[in-house]
């Protein structure tokens, strides 16, 4: 990415500087396409996963020769707000699909929804892994049901990419999207990727100079795209070893939390989860209070999703799990996390819990 900052040409220009910039973008495009199992021409660079979701979730997607608009968007009840909003589908076209108590999509509920909409063009928006609990979703099974009904699966791979094998072959998805910063790359870059060349967005969100094959206008952020592809390649290269390492740290965290908070409930613990995520309830203590107290002790954690611009609100994921009026603390680990960080967190948590319990009104 630093090297790309020295390449000053506009990638849409035909002069030597422009061609050099364009080469960086096309190299990045080919690298991401190869990792996902598709052709380079099927990768569209965006400013992040939210933009990609807004671009992808539209009734106006052509598949093969079929240009008829999609009638229904099914959305898992635990999806990121970027998908829950339905984007370019009208509100009456959007229907949520229930989750299990472990925050995985209910395949039974999906089957029932598909049966209700038999004969209609149906799209399903489903995460590869939940962004609050880390629970891995039943993508391949959902894809089989959706495809049997003649539908399309759009997968938000943001949380899972670089942490578990996430490709078109393993997910069965028709469209994948994800962002750079979750992989350790720069913020402000993302990708929308098609499994096949016969899937087309009929009406792009951004129109102008025809960049990204006419699917996303605007001069590309060359340096961010170069950093994005480098992070994608690096994250996938050590994915297996890193997942084992992070799972060990996560398990250490949960054993420590259970000692400090014997009534804690670890969300999704009975289902396959990403190695880097632990979410737990703390009965008798508010997650937001714990979060702020830990922040004052130098420890950064989350309550729910990290994508709500600092807003404090009830978690729609917990509600979909049947945990209404409850909240949870989410601890995330990454490539720089160490056993010392785990020790620091647990020491701070014990201190904060003792302090709050000595002042019940503060909880």
Q: Which residues are catalytic?
A: 307
Distance CA 348, CA 350 (A): 6
Helix 287-296 and helix 339-358, axial crossing angle in degrees, nearest 10? 120
**Within 13 Å of residue 136, how many CA atoms lie on the same side as its CB?**
18
3-state secondary structure of 319: helix
Q: Are 115 and 104 in contact (CB under 8 A)?
A: no
For the chain, the first-to-last Cα distance in angstroms comes to: 45
Structure tokens at 352: 């904060």
Rg of the Cα atoms in the chain:
21
What does DSSP say about strands 329-332 and 277-281: parallel, antiparallel, or unpaired? antiparallel
Distance CA 190, CA 44 (A): 9
Q: Are 9 and 18 in contact (CB under 8 A)?
A: yes
DSSP-derived secondary structure letter, 15: S
Residues 6 or more apart whose CB falls under 8 angstroms from that of 118 comprise 149
Burial of 354 (0-12, 13-18, 19+ CB in 10 A): exposed
Residues 6 or more apart whose CB falls under 8 angstroms from that of 157 comprise 127, 128, 166, 171, 173, 176, 177, 178
3-state secondary structure of 298: coil
Burial of 109 (0-12, 13-18, 19+ CB in 10 A): middle
Distance CA 78, CA 316 (A): 7
Q: Are 206 and 217 in contact (CB under 8 A)?
A: yes
């Amino acid at each position: 990415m630093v090297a790309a900052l020295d390449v000053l040409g506009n990638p849409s220009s035909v002069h030597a500087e422009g061609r050099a910039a364009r080469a960086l973008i096309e190299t990045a495009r080919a690298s991401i396409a190869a990792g996902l199992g598709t052709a380079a021409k099927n990768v569209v660079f965006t400013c992040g996963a939210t933009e990609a979701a807004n671009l992808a979730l539209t009734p106006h997607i052509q598949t093969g020769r079929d240009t008829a608009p999609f009638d229904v968007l099914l959305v898992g009840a635990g999806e990121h707000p970027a998908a829950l909003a339905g984007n370019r589908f009208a509100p009456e076209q959007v229907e949520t699909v229930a989750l299990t108590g472990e925050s995985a999509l209910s395949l039974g509920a999906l089957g029932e929804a598909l049966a209700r909409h038999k004969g209609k063009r149906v799209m399903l928006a489903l995460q590869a892994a939940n962004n609050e609990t880390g629970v891995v979703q039943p993508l391949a099974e959902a894809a089989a049901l959706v495809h049997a009904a003649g539908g399309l699966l759009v997968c938000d791979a943001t949380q899972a990419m670089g942490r578990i094998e996430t490709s078109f072959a393993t997910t069965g998805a028709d469209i994948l999207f994800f962002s750079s910063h979750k992989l350790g790359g720069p913020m402000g870059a993302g990708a929308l990727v098609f499994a096949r060349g016969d899937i087309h967005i009929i009406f792009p969100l951004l129109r102008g100079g025809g960049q990204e094959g006419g699917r996303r206008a605007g001069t590309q952020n060359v340096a961010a795209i170069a950093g994005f592809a480098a992070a994608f390649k690096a994250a996938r290269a050590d994915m297996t070893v890193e997942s084992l390492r992070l799972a060990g740290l996560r398990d250490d965290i949960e054993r420590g939390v259970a000692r400090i908070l014997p009534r804690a409930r670890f969300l999704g613990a009975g289902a396959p989860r990403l190695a880097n995520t632990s979410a737990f309830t703390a009965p008798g203590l508010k997650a937001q209070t714990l979060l702020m107290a830990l922040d004052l002790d130098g420890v950064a954690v989350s309550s729910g999703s990290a994508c709500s611009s600092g807003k404090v609100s009830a978690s729609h994921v917990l509600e979909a799990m049947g945990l209404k009026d409850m909240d949870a603390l989410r601890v995330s680990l990454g490539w720089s996390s160490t056993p010392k960080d785990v020790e620091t967190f647990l020491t701070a948590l014990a201190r904060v819990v003792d302090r709050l319990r000595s002042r019940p009104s503060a909880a």
